[in-house]
């Protein structure tokens, strides 16, 4: 019924799977390169992936929101998706020619995430222009389904290809998958015309910050997301858990990357059928606490089925929180500020886990991976309880 949204959604459906194949390949490649270095601790080098992604987010994140509000969001996406395609193609070439090294890999990771920093606010701010406001929650749920389905299929395929092929092939497939998004964008009829308020009136970085600060409900959801994901981040350590704790191969590692998305997909499908959800703030708090609890179980598990179940639990809980937070934010934000508000939110919801991944790598180096992850999960639960008690505007938010 909404042709342009369907084009965007279909392209993302394909591309997300390719991107998640790339995540597995990057983590495994960093782990193997670090493991082959004398005296190197792979946990620290895995944690550095998050730091390399965090730096462009901090430098460019707020400015990316201004770009999304001041320029045609479709054209912004055409540029960012082309850059992402090019970076994956470069990774494929360098890996195939055995020219890759850790410094070079980290540099490409940073450049790739710089493109994603501009891509995310433009893409999220484009969705409300493609569907009526009444169906926006359903559109966000469908986006979450595509996102989680890609996170299921992509890592599983990535694990299989690592057993049968090489990381270079995975990077090449990822590069090709970006073509699906580019095709959908080229076929779109919707054109985003920036509002006068976004182009003539202090369309500045600070305006997005001022808006978020003036909205207690939006600010509280962002703060909760940041601190929870900071303490609960552990995905970057999965190659270490697979190799040293669980003693499983790349196929099982692919399933470990897929498990959170499997739980999240079930959760998103259930939410898409519920209609209007009441007591949204309380549900957000409960779901984040469950996310922390499942993370702690994962950290302590030495049994693959329990590990997969715990990881699925993190995905299910995180999706409930993400869908409700996204709905609250989109409805409460005027269109001329959506790009900037999204970029502020992006720093919170991506900055938390990225900084958390670096923290997890350092903590795992000092304490061992299982204890570091378990303590992080428990810390997530404690912080969530503190927020629930100290921020009544979130706890009491109805819809």
Specify the number of domains making up the chain. 1
Q: Which residues contact 68 (CB under 8 A, 6 or more apart)?
A: 76, 118, 121, 122, 125, 338, 339, 340, 342, 343
The alpha carbon of 123 is separated from its chain's Cα centroid by a whole number of angstroms, namely: 13
Distance CA 62, CA 52 (A): 17
| Inter-residue contact 124 to 342 (CB < 8 Å) | yes
**Phi and psi (nearest 5°) for 38?**
-65, 125
Query: Are 219 and 225 contacting, i.e. CB atoms less than 8 angstroms apart?
Result: no
Q: Write out the E strands in the chain.
A: none
**Signed CA dihedral, 93, 94, 95, 96: sign only:** positive
d(CA 21, CA 32): 17
pLDDT at 106: 96
- Asked if 135 contacts 265 with a C-beta cutoff of 8 angstroms, the reply is no
What's 335's DSSP letter? G
Predicted pLDDT of residue 192: 59
Select from 26, 181, 20, 17 the least CA-distant residue to 94: 26
- Cα separation of 121 and 63, whole Å? 10
Tell me which residue range forms the domain holding 99: 3-395
69 and 125 Cβ atoms separated by less than 8 Å: yes
DSSP string, 216-281: HHHHHHHHHHHHHHHHH--GGGHHHIIIIIS---HHHHHHHHHHHHHHHHHHHHHHHTS-S-SSHH
pLDDT at position 334 is 76
- Mention every residue, 6+ apart, whose C-beta is less than 8 A from residue 85: 175, 178, 179, 182
Residues 6+ away with beta carbon under 8 Å from 75 = none
Alpha-carbon dihedral of residues 53, 55, 56, 60, nearest 10 degrees?
140
Supply the pTM of this predicted model: 0.84
Listed residue (46, 62, 55, 40) closest to 346, CA to CA: 62
Report d(CA 399, CA 379) in Å as an integer: 28
Closest CA to 360 of 9, 60, 43: 43
Residue 347 pLDDT: 78
> What is the pLDDT at residue 113?
93
Q: What is the mean pLDDT of each run of 10 residues along the chain (399 residues)?
A: 83 90 94 86 93 90 80 91 96 94 95 92 83 78 81 91 88 94 87 55 64 80 83 90 94 93 85 72 88 96 96 92 79 73 76 90 93 94 88 73
Question: What is the CATH number for 97?
Answer: 1.20.1250.20
CA dihedral 179, 184, 190, 193 (to 10 degrees): -10
Residue 41 is given by DSSP the state -
338 CA to centre of own chain:
19
Cα torsion 114, 120, 121, 123 to 10°: value is 130
């Amino acid at each position: 019924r909404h042709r342009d949204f369907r084009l965007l959604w279909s392209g993302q459906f394909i591309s997300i799977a390719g991107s998640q194949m790339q995540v597995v390949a990057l983590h495994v490649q960093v782990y193997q390169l670090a493991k082959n270095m004398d005296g190197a601790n792979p946990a620290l080098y895995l944690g550095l992936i998050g730091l390399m992604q965090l730096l462009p987010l901090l430098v460019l994140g707020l400015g990316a929101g201004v770009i999304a509000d001041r320029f045609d969001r479709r054209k912004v996406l055409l540029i960012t998706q082309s850059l992402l395609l090019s970076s994956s193609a470069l990774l494929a070439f360098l890996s195939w020619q055995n020219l890759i090294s850790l410094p070079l890999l980290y540099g490409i990771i940073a450049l790739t995430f710089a493109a994603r920093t501009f891509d995310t606010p433009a893409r999220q701010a484009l969705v409300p222009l493609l569907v009526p406001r009444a169906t926006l929650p359903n559109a966000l749920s469908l986006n979450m389904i595509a996102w989680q389905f890609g996170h299921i299929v992509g890592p599983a395929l990535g694990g299989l290809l690592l057993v049968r092929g090489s990381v270079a092939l995975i990077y090449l497939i990822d590069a090709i998958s970006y073509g699906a998004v580019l095709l959908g964008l080229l076929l779109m009829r919707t054109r985003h015309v920036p509002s006068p308020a976004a182009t003539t009136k202090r369309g500045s970085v600070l305006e997005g910050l001022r808006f978020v600060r003036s909205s207690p409900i939006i600010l509280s959801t962002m703060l909760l997301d940041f601190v929870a994901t900071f303490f609960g981040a552990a995905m970057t350590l999965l190659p270490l858990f697979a190799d040293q704790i669980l003693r499983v191969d790349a196929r099982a590692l692919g399933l470990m990357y897929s498990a959170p998305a499997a739980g999240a997909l079930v959760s998103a499908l259930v939410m898409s059928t519920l209609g209007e959800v009441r007591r949204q703030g309380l549900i957000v708090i409960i779901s984040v606490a469950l996310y922390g609890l499942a993370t702690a179980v994962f950290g302590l598990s030495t049994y693959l089925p329990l590990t997969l179940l715990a990881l699925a639990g993190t995905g299910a809980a995180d999706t409930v929180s993400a869908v409700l937070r996204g709905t609250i934010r989109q409805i409460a934000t005027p269109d001329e500020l959506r790009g900037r508000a999204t970029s502020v939110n992006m720093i919170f919801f991506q900055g938390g886990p990225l900084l958390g991944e670096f923290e997890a790598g350092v903590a795992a180096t000092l304490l061992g991976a299982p204890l570091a992850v378990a303590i992080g999960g428990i810390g997530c639960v404690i912080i969530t309880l503190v927020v629930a008690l100290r921020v009544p505007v979130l706890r009491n938010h109805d819809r």
